[in-house]
Structure 1
């Protein structure tokens, strides 16, 4: 995010490069930077003649270069944006000659999603020399919570730890989807509001009481009644709670508990980053640590592996979710 802020600050300060090659596995920042350049480099009056949007699947590198070599009309610059530029990956090396001597009155933007250029190639060095080469890397799941906090602070909101965890649990590291859901909340909630689990449930549709996050808490605290109630809800709503996902997340929970058992230093501030969880939730992991000795955790992990295989239809004659969920909880609580 720091690199994104630097690029935007440079643009605001008038330090505008002739090439912006935005690439990588995480499309969120590529989209945001592309959008920012489209919206700010030219005035609305200038865009009509001087802003060109091209799609990779509908063009060639030669056409992109031809458009980029044109001079602006009644403006200081023109902007050429190549969306879905990864469609040009097979011929992208043909950009080399242009990158060596780019048109200084053109701002050429490549939105090159889900892929990266080979950094050993001359093209990469030329783009870095004359323009901006930005790689948008996929964020790890354990980094997303902090990203949500920072994003909301910038927009004038706060979020409760549980609500934050719900978003990460249900949306993973899909930053674009998380941002879109938060934008919906911003329309409904006043600035300065602290987003709660209730806000998430009522406005986004994730149940605050019947989700994998609450299932983990019930399992960790050995609250069998609650765990079976959640399992019943999952069995009745299989589309919203796929068995494969449920088993995977419970498996991950116990792997963290096993890792926690193996740590000599059990200081919550030290343990939280190692486990990849928020310090706010360490009390739940502490409780699970006391409730499940290491030997039991190892046994549970082995059982969950078997259930995971069965949930994928291997050697189980397609057992219904209800039976698999019951088997999972029996193996945990027995």
Structure 2
């Protein structure tokens, strides 16, 4: 849905009112950026673009801007950041907002102005009259985690706009290496498109070479080797991490985090939750849920609980210095290979 709205915006289809709401910061910023680019050229921004933070400024000031005729242009864009009056949140230093005047404006917005409400909140207060009215009158853009399919389409769209194509395997590789983080995806795609050159295909081999692996991704691969009984390769990843001066205590902590995620996803899946519901419940990207569920199928619930107990014991030994730190993790891994 977000990608479709972006396409309309890029074609110049600007509504008088936009409500961009959710906690996915990249989508909040990118949507606002696209609206500004579609409505104003660089010279017009100085005169016809205004940004108002509702935690610091009264909405009256924003409305006055919106009702002022554009200068040296045909369009004015007014960004209203942090519209706290749409939520149930209470602020210590509350600004006195004239919501009656805002209601009047929303009912009859200036024909030459696009007003954007950028609301970085998980939920809006649906009981409020102002919230109901804005949701009725505005083009709504949900800045929330994209589904796996939407993330794949997003990556393809980034390649297309730079004149490139991208292999399906490379798309999955990028999703894995970035944990589905849209900011990271955008940065990595920019790098890949630049390196590949206009009109060329982005391959999985290229993504493996150029997209950096985080410690978390290396831990995921380590566990993936473990669960698929590839002990030698798992130990090699562990030794490579030690060579890069990663602390054993941090490695063990991330192994524990991943196994807890595998257990959580297994329990929620068994309770009838789908991937999207699980992702919303534990606040992670749906693609990470998909990968965790694939690993969860190789264990029963009791095995996972026993592994987490073993990890807790290893953590205790590691912190009390009873054994060599490297040896503690090696012994834990070797037990899993059996």
**Equivalent position SS for 2:145:** coil
Could you tell me which residue of structure 1 aligns to residue 105 of structure 2? 101
Find the counterpart in structure 2 of residue 266 from structure 1. none
Contact 1:158 1:193 in 2 (8 A): yes
Confirm or deny that 1:122 pairs with 2:129.
yes
Query: What is the distance in 2 between the residues matched to 1:259 and 1:131?
Result: 36
Alignment gaps of 5+ in structure 2: 273-285
Aligned residue for 1:6? Answer: 5
TM-score with structure 1 setting the length: 0.72
Conserved 8 A contact 1:54-1:82: yes
Kept in 2, the 8 Å contact 1:259–1:275? The answer is no
Contact kept in structure 1, 2:24 and 2:145, CA below 8 Å: yes
Q: 1:53 aligns to what SS in structure 2?
A: strand
Counting only pairs closer than 5 Å after superposition, residues 1-334 of structure 1 correspond to structure 2 as 2-6=1-5, 8-9=7-8, 12=11, 14=13, 16-56=14-54, 58-83=56-81, 90=91, 94-95=98-99, 97-102=101-106, 103-104=109-110, 105-139=112-146, 146-147=152-153, 149-152=155-158, 154-155=160-161, 156-159=164-167, 161=169, 163-190=170-197, 191-196=199-204, 198-206=205-213, 211-237=218-244, 238=246, 242-252=251-261, 277=290, 297-309=300-312, 317=319, 322-334=326-338
Q: Classify 1:101/1:244 alpha carbon distance in 2 versus 1 (closer, same or farther; 3 Å).
A: same
SS in 1 for 2:213: coil
Structure 1: give runs of 5+ residues left out of the alignment.
264-272
Deviation at 1:54, TM superposition (A): 3.6
Distance apart, 1:317 and its partner CA: 2.7
Bigger mean CA offset, 88-97 vs 25-34:
88-97
* Aligned CA-pair RMSD: 4.3
- Pair 1:92–1:194, CA change in 2 (3 A): farther
SS of aligned partner of 1:317: helix
CA 1:185–1:87: 2 relative to 1, 3 Å: farther
1: CA distance between counterparts of 2:325 and 2:149?
A: 31
Structure 1 residues 30, 9: closer, same or farther in 2, change over 3 A? same
- Cα distance in 2, alignment partners of residues 138 and 71 from structure 1: 37
- Render the CA deviation track for 1:103-127: whole Å, top value 9, x for unaligned: 4132121222244321232112211
Change (3 A) 1:73 1:254: closer
CA distance in structure 2 between the aligned counterparts of 1:13 and 1:130, rounded to whole angstroms: 19
Instruction: From the superposition, tell whether residues 85 and 304 of structure 1 become closer, same or farther in structure 2 (CA, over 3 Å).
Output: farther
Q: Secondary structure at the match of 1:206?
A: coil
Aligned counterparts of 2:183 and 2:271: Cα–Cα separation in 1: 36
Counting matched residue pairs gives 308
> How far apart are the structure 1 equivalents of 2:236 and 2:230?
10
The answer to which of 210-219 and 169-178 deviates more is 210-219
Instruction: Note closer, same or farther for the CA distance 1:302–1:81 as it changes in structure 2 (3 Å cut).
Output: same
Say if 1:21 and 1:333 are closer, same or farther in 2 by CA, change over 3 A.
same
- Residue by residue, what CA displacement relative to the aligned partner does 1:31-69 show, whole Å, maximum 9, x if unpaired? 121001111212334333212234455533333233223
Residues 318, 325 of structure 2: 8 Å contact kept: no
- 2:126 alignment partner, SS class: coil
TM-score, normalisation: structure 2: 0.71
SS at match of 2:319: coil
The 8 Å contact of residues 192 and 202 in structure 2, kept in 1 or not, is answered as no
Q: CA deviation at 1:256?
A: 7.0
Question: Which one is further off, 216-225 or 145-154?
Answer: 145-154
Query: Mean Cα displacement is larger for which, 246-255 or 129-138?
Result: 246-255
